[in-house]
Chains A and B, each alone.
Chain A
Amino acid sequence: MFAIEANGQTIEAKKGETILQSLKRAGINVPTICHMEGLLPSGTCRMCVVEVEGFGGLVPSCSHPVAEGMKIRTNTPDVMQTRKTLIDLLLSNHPDDCLYCARNGNCDLAKLAADNGVRDRAYQGARSHRPKDISSPSIIRDPDKCILCGKCVRMCDEIQGVSAIDFVNRGSKAYVGTAFNQGLNVSSCINCGQCILVCPTAALSEHKYISEVLQALADPTKTVVVQHAPAVSVSIAEEFGFAPGTDFDGKMTAALRRVGFDRVFDTSFTADLTIMEEGSELVHRVQNGGALPMFTSCSPGWVKFVEEFYPELLPNVSTCKSPQQMMGAIIKSYFAQKENLDPKNIVSVSLMPCTAKKFECGRPEMAQDYVADVDYVLTTRELAELFRITGVNPAAIEPEAPDTPFGERSSAGKLFGASGGVMEAALRSAVFLLTGEEMKDYTIQALRGMEGSKELRVKVGDLEVGAAVVSSLGQARKLMNEIKAGRKDLHFIEVMTCPGGCINGGGQPIGADKEAIKARMAALYQIDSGDKLRVSHKNEWVQRLYTEFLGKPLGHKSHELLHTHYDKREVLL
């Protein structure tokens, strides 16, 4: 620690940090655009400039290291004018249709302009007109709203290791696009939506299906059933002004009934079901010399990633459908039978923290007799919009319990929302299934937390299990390459596409920082610590589903409804 001076006040700085970091800690705000927490500075936007005594010209604070005795000014007329000019230039060719814009109300660019006193158009530049790319079921790209900050490109490349998009052309003709300007749907994009979370504007947004859902709700001939993923209840409250980590589980259920859904189910129920199926699959592989290590298959971005980049390892991916798709499949079979409904008259809606789930529900593998298991996927953000459109305020509603038969869940199923949660849930049940005894303490600390890669060796009965947990596909890629190079000590690997897991999914509320993500994660563990039912194998309704309908894990019906297989996918890599 040493002292520096900022705007005349003495503040503390740490060796090795940037000027921006020291200023932030002291509560001095400097606007940034291209800066990304945790990545090396790219220094392209220059929005973060400050004055440093003795330096000629302004200094970008996001990339410049602090030094002892520095005298910094962040709000001199020169600095403020420079910022304003930079914003003026960004706005000069921007379409001003904020009223109709996907980011109306939470736009970083609009906020930047407002915060810096931009109230007139200073320059009128030539507008570029590039067609919107609506080809993807998950992501919409509107290049006209792009301010070329490059964050999506870096996210896709440096964090996700996919590189579906990059800068094309140069100078005034530059834009962000795919190889050969193909539609995103045929590119290598795996639909994770992480690019949406970092985009300051509406240049990237999710493909919305709200009107389709409203139409279904208004149709008296349809039974509209909804399921919600584990990570949605701990983030939806943020959209209504509550602190990150506030759990709206019961309130959300009640609100969904007010919106008009006929049944409200919890995807954590099929997370429990997944544990039964996937656990049995793992044991089967171990006992019969099947392909190991086995990878989880609940994250559809990850599945597409393997299909594109590591097709030779597809046999190692679990054949289990994701909890969303399992729920869809049993809704349109078991539930339909029980309720005497024609599956064609059931509209199955799914609320997810995820944009890739939109792609997943449209996969041809995810249907029975040409009836899709899940019809529409809405993100957490769209759910908030749905509540607003219908005038339902979840904050003001008394909590209610979900519907049977797919409402009961264990808190192990709920843990699926955080990186490490699937593994923790799986180990809890594996110990019981292989030894007949329950774990003394269900908490497996080594699997918790925001690290991108976690590993654990545990004894389950006589079996020594090598377990690994990775989140973000950049991390997954590293592990895949180790395995391809001959690493043999792992048996079971959980992969989540988004850094930290679904709590940080591409469909979650925009503007969450690392602390907010941690709070969402903590909320899941909080729910688990106080829950009566903490293991999937004791979920009575899952057991009932087996006796009444499925038979046994990996049985004939399970194979038909809950399992699938994946093939190599040809895209431009």
Chain B
Amino acid sequence: MPTVKSVETILMDHPAAGRDHLIPILQEVQESEGYLSQESITKVGKALDMPSSKIFGVATFFNMFRFQAKGKYHVMVCRGTACHVKGSGRALDLVTKALKIQPGETTRDKLFSLEVVACMGACGLAPVVNINGQFYAKVTPMKLQRIIEECREKEQTHAIA
């Protein structure tokens, strides 16, 4: 678990920061809070004298930032070369359809969030999907569908119990 640092502390670690410190600051905020919230972006904007539209623009330029808190199940789909060749595009399609969200987003019930990563270093198992740290190897759309349904069922039994 990364240590939780408040945005204020992070900003204090960058005294007299200018706009060139924006990216490292945003990275630290995301590392600490898991995503970039409106509140954090406003605070960073105040400190760097930057409008939040500009910060949002810069942050969306890079793929690494997300703007919604992660869901209970954080689904990472690998789009590295090996996975791509083995059909991770189809896997991603299925997930976006099944969850009705795009990469970087979180479902409304906050159960699932989706992230696309460049390479998870498990190319031998391509295509790979990782949910909350657990690897699923050689996924097919069918397999993925089942995995997602299992997560949903687990939640439902929790809810009933």
Interface residues of A (CB under 8 A from B): 157, 162-170, 178-180, 187-188, 572-573
Contacts and interface: CB of A to CB of B under 8 A. Distances in A.
A454 B61 CA distance: 40
Nearest to B62: A170
Given A572-B42, A573-B42, A179 B60 contact: no
Nearest to A171: B61
A166 B61 contact: no
Nearest to A166: B57
Contacts of A180: 38, 41, 52, 56, 67
Contacts of A162: 51
B57 A168 contact: yes
B61 A170 contact: yes
A159 to B, nearest CB: 14
Report the 5 A-B pairs with minimum CB-CB distance, sorted nearest first.
A163-B51, A166-B57, A179-B52, A179-B56, A166-B53
Instruction: Classify chain B's interface size.
Output: 10 to 19
A166 B38 CA distance: 16
Interface string B20-57: 00000000000000000010011001000001111111
Given A179-B41, A180-B38, A180-B67, A572 B57 contact: no
A166 B56 contact: yes
Between B51, B53, B54, B55, the greatest number of chain A beta carbons within 10 A of the residue's beta carbon is seen for B53
Given A180-B38, A572-B38, A573-B42, A164 B53 contact: yes
Between A166, A178, A188, the greatest number of chain B beta carbons within 10 A of the residue's beta carbon is seen for A166
Contacts of A188: 51, 53
A309 to B, nearest CB: 10
Given A180-B67, A572-B42, A163 B61 contact: no
B69 to A, nearest CB: 13
Contact of A572 (B52, B61, B67): B52
Nearest to B67: A180
A573 B48 CA distance: 12
19 contacts: A157-B51, A166-B51, A166-B54, A166-B57, A168-B57, A168-B60, A179-B38, A179-B51, A179-B53, A179-B55, A179-B56, A180-B41, A180-B52, A572-B38, A572-B41, A572-B42, A572-B53, A573-B42, A573-B52
Nearest to A173: B60
A96 B81 CA distance: 37
A572 B45 CA distance: 10
Contacts of A164: 51, 53
A170 B29 CA distance: 22
Nearest to B50: A163
Given A179-B41, A572-B42, A573-B42, A163 B60 contact: no
Contacts of B41: 179-180, 572
B42 to A, nearest CB: 6
Nearest to A156: B53
Contact of A163 (B42, B54, B67): B54
B64 to A, nearest CB: 13
